[in-house]
Structure 1
Amino acid sequence: MSPLSTVEMPSFRKLIDDILSKDESAHMKHLSRRTLGKHIQTRFIENMDELRTILKNADYVCTTADVWSTSTRRFLGVTAHWIDSKTFTIKSAAIACRRFSGTHTYDRIAELLHEIHLSFSLDSKKLVSTVTDNGSSFVKAFNEFGIKIPLLTHDEGATDFMSDDDEDDDTIDPYVGNNASSQIPFDAEPALPEDEPHQFRPKPSLSVHMRCASHTINLIASTDFTSFIKQSATLSSQHSETINRCQVLWSLLRSPKKREIMIEYLGKPLTKPICVRWNSLFDSLALIVSLRDDIITFSEAVGITNTMQDSDFKYLEDYLNCTRPLIDTLNKLQGEKNCSYGYLLPCVITLRRKLLAVKTNVGTTFCNDAVDYLIERVEHRFRDLFEVEDCGKWAAIAAVIHPQFKTQWLGCLSIEAQKKVYSVVMTAATDAEAVVLSTTNTPNKVDEFFDFGNISSTTYSELDIFSNTGAQLQVKKYLHEPVTNNLLAVDVYPVVKKIFLKYNTPLPSSAAVERFFSYATMHNLPRYNRLKDYNFEIRVLAKCNSSKNWR
């Protein structure tokens, strides 16, 4: 993107004059840098007002947040995501790239994030969650100022949502909650403790916190897996030697001459991994393995002494086979347009099953031990999902209500976890029904012309079958239908639709805000360093939102 002063450059004005001279009907005047800046600011304000209106009309909104640092400044980036209630497509927009001055502490993060949410009227009823990475500052900010996920527990005596029998099933009683105080209204703000006066409610106030699943998988593949490798001196030595030989190849990319030779022998340059992104390391290693024979020839041509050995390629193949399920899951969860929160639990379950399949298909000693360790770390870091606790409750509801999954994945959990899934889904259905009824049961205007006398309350009571049959019946009928990729399937059932919109609005990953920062990087150039914070935010948001489908 060129600086605004471009419009005042003689060469640019001559270019415009030449174009106008060929079209006599065109009447245009040259703009000054300041006039163009005012037009951009006016258009930006109009777009933000339009975005505020859209967010106001959305049923539920999720945000993602992260902090981006340069050598001289630090910014807090926030993106907003919601589901269109008519098309059920996920909409996204960047809403802030705010200068983060002062110390990068949890309370400062909470204050600035709260301020950004308020500027778009995102209160606790509309804002269902904020997704961030596992950084300690974010975690502490939401622990101190965030809303806890409601304790979803179903009433005693409710029926199984996959049962054809509408009568009470006594066998369900042991695992159904019967504490009336645990029932949380579908859209209610959590109550303050009785001994805490309202005026002392901590400010700022944040939403429910959900940790980025992609960042968690990155930690498993990098931090955790590195710890496993270091447990064995032989394995650690092999890993270090192999990566060092790969580093020699990647270092050649800095030389234009050797880069040209590399392209001549390999047909393409190798890719150097980014230190903070494990998936880039996987892709770089996979490329080296795929060009095995050509790399050996290339190494001899450029005179590399510490060349790749057969043992190195064998190690890399085993490493890639063990971690491939992780990279496949990452790629699935980082989608912004199609991947809602309902994908999280099925994806993590699939990850565990694919890791188990590696032992069967590969079967080397290294792979067997590595896979066992990776499965243990997946189950540990995603314990809430497998045990249906905290965020796992939200993920379970989102997955059951998602028409692509429904209950297909349920058998992969323990019996106790399956019981919890049943309980939280039924509670969500009951709460959603109350919201649907409160928004649809509006008094109709009565036409006083008609007179049918007093209608007996006992007349044709059988016609009640045409009235609302209850949330549980809606959910059961919906779940007995075949799975489908068509999200419009939830539009038939008002209660199911309400549950879907709320619990599938969050994204399982904060990759959206990380992609947003790539636009900020475009503007973090020496010629833009003198931009004021507000003008910098305008440019970054305008550039990002021009490529997003938010209208």
Structure 2
Amino acid sequence: MDAEFDEGCGETKSAIHSWRYRHHFTYKADQGKNIIVQCNLCLPRVNLLSTSKTSTSNLKKHLDRTHLGCDARPDAKRGRKKEDNNGEESSYCQLKKIKAEILSKCTTQEKIDDLVFRFIVEDCQPFHVLEQPGFNKLIAGLTKGLHPMDSVTLFAKVDHSFLRMREELTTKLASVQYVCTTADVWSAGGGSFFGVTCHWIDGDSLERKSAALGFARMQGRLTYDSVAGRIRDVHAAYGIESKVQTTVTDNASPFVAVFKEFAPDGTDVNDDVGVHENVGAVLEGEPEQDMLLFLPTIQRCPSHTLERIVAEDFWQAVSQGPMCQLYYSTMSKVFSIWSKCHHLQVGMEAAEAIRKMALLVPAVIRWNVEYCALQKIVSLTERELTELSARLDVARLQPEEMDFLREYVAVFHPLAFALELFQAEQKCYLGLVIPTVLSLKNKLNEHKDSAKYFGDVIVSVASAIDTRFRELFASDEAKLATATTPQFRLWWLPDSEREEMCSLLTGEASQVDPCDVFEVGATRNVSTIKSEDDFFSYGSPKRTAHIQERGVAEEIHKYVEGTGKSLESLQDFPRIRQLFLKYNTTLPSTAPIQRLFSQKGNLAASHRNFLTDEYFERIQLLRYNINVCSVLNS
């Protein structure tokens, strides 16, 4: 502290140098016979005080009045000296001027521009907000006279940030060995939008990373060649053509047909009948056979497959079963409750009472959202249900209907849990799919004999799971992804198939480049094992026959005999770790690309902001990649 005062005051001595409480103040400026200091005890509030160079009485009064806990004992009172102005502006005005200068240094024009830029990008605000008088007054009032940037500066900042983002993302992907992409075409507002996201696992921490690579408007007809060419161009722009393990898509026939036509080495892509609601038109035209557009292997979205089981097979079993009438009568009353709550057709007192019940109302009619809302209704007490029906003026649920809902919630809780697992982007890997589906079947069958209403529905759903996931169960890639996940290893396989899986693992591990095998530090768990152990049921670990070979085979043997469930255990098995990175980079869901499309207002933003297609894409990519790139965080 003495050094700070010496540096600020030069050779001029002041009484504060020898004062016992000088550490509570920081020198700021010289003011003739006085000095200006900042009270450290008042921080972070800027509180500048003026005191004579020959006396500290003014500072002691401040400590006594404001900071009694600092143990500054007042000395004997002294008479106040008459202030000597000498034609200069008053001490108060000078103090106010110095404070304003300090505040202006804390809030710079560059900082305001960055904050406004984040506001526009993150919230998808229209660019013309910069020209709104009220917005300009708001910024000027909060920043003591500064103003937001104009639209020309904003466009330049978008260009600069987009180039930086693309360079940074390209650099990140250059150091990644395996990546997975998701792709989809979405029709809205009379136009079609093509989106691509990219996903990889960090080689050190084994954390899932994601980024958006493309979000462009598709001009003209949607043809096989135009979609395939767009995918190829996006992959080439970021230099990941040879790194893409799979491209995950939904189960829409037109989109899957693109990969079927251009699949490498004549790979057969089994077409799963059904068109996703997001594809506005069937692809037109015949693919040009001379175009060498070889796309990565396609991976159907298991989450979408499970949703289709609910939307089609489950619904068909319910609507044709013996409890069809009971289902319709029960759900009609439930939908009446949701409809009135959603449209706020209740008085203020009724709304307040319902709010205390924390009643959930599904904003989007998707099965897992609907299930959570039903779960909340079932949790209400009989008194709350009676009060709810009376306040909303809807028919009351009868005891049999409530029993029906309770069994519905209990029986199909594993189905809702499985959907949540598949859509958890950060903690979900392809290796999670097979154990999840097998455990889902086991959980459903546990309720089959005791179910009063849903016995036949359980049989239908289990049969649909076998049919729709048959291709996945037969996939070596999916099996290897599961086997290299320590949480499952080979415990999900029957005894008769474990030796064959060991041979497959050994063959894959023997092809791992020794240069790629390295020691790794501590990593994070693959998932919340504590809660998921209650879900997964694949039997207890069983010993596999000893493999006589040394080297690779010995590592495989020790791995399958292990019991550790976290990814941290992979540091003892470097070859298995490399195989985990290779096969588990693939996502089991298209949820990321759906989130890209479903960001509030983004599809209408181009019209609202009067943006060109180029700038519309740049804004959306900047918005999506805010957490993976440092462009908006610098």
Corresponding position: 1:55 with 2:135: no
Contact 1:82 1:91 in 2 (8 A): yes
Match for residue 261 of structure 2?
144
Contact 1:429 1:471 in 2 (8 A): yes
1:499 pairs, out of 560, 575, 579, with: 579
Match for residue 128 of structure 2?
5
Equivalent positions of 1:263-274 (< 5 A) are 263-265=352-354, 267=356, 268-272=358-362, 274=364
Q: Deviations over 1:247-299 (max 9, x none)?
A: 22122135434174244246234413523x22112122222222253233222
Cα distance in 2 between the residues matched to 1:259 and 1:97:
44
CA gap 1:543/1:437 in 2 versus in 1, 3 angstroms:
closer
Amino acid at match of 2:487: Q
SS in 2 for 1:95: strand
Match for residue 180 of structure 1?
none
Gap runs ≥5 in structure 2: 1-122, 269-287, 519-548
Equivalent positions of 1:438-453 (< 5 A) are none
Q: Deviations over 1:194-240 (max 9, x none)?
A: xxxxx9665322101111111111111221111112333x4222222
Match for residue 407 of structure 1?
490
Amino acid at match of 2:330: T
Gap runs ≥5 in structure 1: 23-27, 152-198, 441-467
CA gap 1:352/1:396 in 2 versus in 1, 3 angstroms:
same
Amino acid at match of 2:411: C
Match for residue 68 of structure 1?
186
* TM-score of the superposed pair, with normalisation by structure 1: 0.76
Amino acid at match of 2:510: T
SS in 2 for 1:406: coil
SS in 2 for 1:350: helix
Corresponding position: 1:246 with 2:334: yes
Q: How much has 1:52 moved relative to structure 2?
A: 1.1
Match for residue 385 of structure 2?
295
Match for residue 228 of structure 1?
317
Q: How much has 1:20 moved relative to structure 2?
A: 4.5
Cα distance in 1 between the residues matched to 2:256 and 2:488:
30
CA gap 1:224/1:102 in 2 versus in 1, 3 angstroms:
farther
> Which has the larger Rg?
2
Q: How much has 1:490 moved relative to structure 2?
A: 2.3
SS in 2 for 1:546: helix
Cα distance in 1 between the residues matched to 2:606 and 2:621:
19
CA gap 1:247/1:514 in 2 versus in 1, 3 angstroms:
same
Cα distance in 2 between the residues matched to 1:129 and 1:489:
26
Q: How much has 1:405 moved relative to structure 2?
A: 1.8
1:217 pairs, out of 306, 311, 316, with: 306
Contact 1:97 1:537 in 2 (8 A): yes
Q: How much has 1:505 moved relative to structure 2?
A: 0.5
Corresponding position: 1:203 with 2:320: no
Cα distance in 2 between the residues matched to 1:273 and 1:32:
38
With CA pairs under 8 Å and 6+ residues apart, which has the higher RCO, 1 or 2? 1
SS in 2 for 1:86: coil
Match for residue 480 of structure 1?
561
Contact 2:197 2:213 in 1 (8 A): yes
CA gap 1:240/1:18 in 2 versus in 1, 3 angstroms:
closer
Q: How much has 1:46 moved relative to structure 2?
A: 0.6
SS in 1 for 2:206: coil
CA gap 1:243/1:39 in 2 versus in 1, 3 angstroms:
same
Cα distance in 1 between the residues matched to 2:265 and 2:314:
31
Contact 1:133 1:510 in 2 (8 A): yes
Q: Deviations over 1:20-45 (max 9, x none)?
A: 548xxxxx675211111111221111
Contact 2:126 2:605 in 1 (8 A): no
* TM-score of the superposed pair, with normalisation by structure 2: 0.66
CA gap 1:499/1:259 in 2 versus in 1, 3 angstroms:
farther
Cα distance in 2 between the residues matched to 1:258 and 1:148:
62
Cα distance in 2 between the residues matched to 1:519 and 1:285:
26
Match for residue 480 of structure 2?
397
Q: How much has 1:420 moved relative to structure 2?
A: 4.6
Deviates more, 1:13-22 or 1:132-141: 13-22
Match for residue 444 of structure 1?
none
Corresponding position: 1:436 with 2:517: no
Amino acid at match of 2:492: W
1:508 pairs, out of 582, 588, 591, with: 588
Cα distance in 2 between the residues matched to 1:278 and 1:530:
36
Q: How much has 1:396 moved relative to structure 2?
A: 1.1
Deviates more, 1:142-151 or 1:369-378: 142-151
CA gap 1:550/1:383 in 2 versus in 1, 3 angstroms:
farther
Q: How much has 1:418 moved relative to structure 2?
A: 4.0
SS in 1 for 2:412: helix
Match for residue 149 of structure 2?
31
Contact 1:250 1:271 in 2 (8 A): yes
Equivalent positions of 1:119-130 (< 5 A) are 119-123=237-241, 125-130=242-247
CA gap 1:241/1:107 in 2 versus in 1, 3 angstroms:
farther
Contact 1:402 1:500 in 2 (8 A): yes
Match for residue 411 of structure 2?
322
Q: Aligned Cα RMSD in Å?
A: 2.9
Amino acid at match of 1:231: Q
Amino acid at match of 2:514: V
Equivalent positions of 1:152-163 (< 5 A) are none
Contact 2:517 2:578 in 1 (8 A): no
Cα distance in 2 between the residues matched to 1:231 and 1:74:
38
Q: Deviations over 1:3-32 (max 9, x none)?
A: 23333333333444444548xxxxx67521
1:102 pairs, out of 203, 212, 220, with: 220
The number of residue pairs the alignment matches comes to: 456
Q: Deviations over 1:20-78 (max 9, x none)?
A: 548xxxxx675211111111221111111110111121010001122223223221221
1:358 pairs, out of 427, 447, 459, with: 447
Match for residue 133 of structure 1?
250
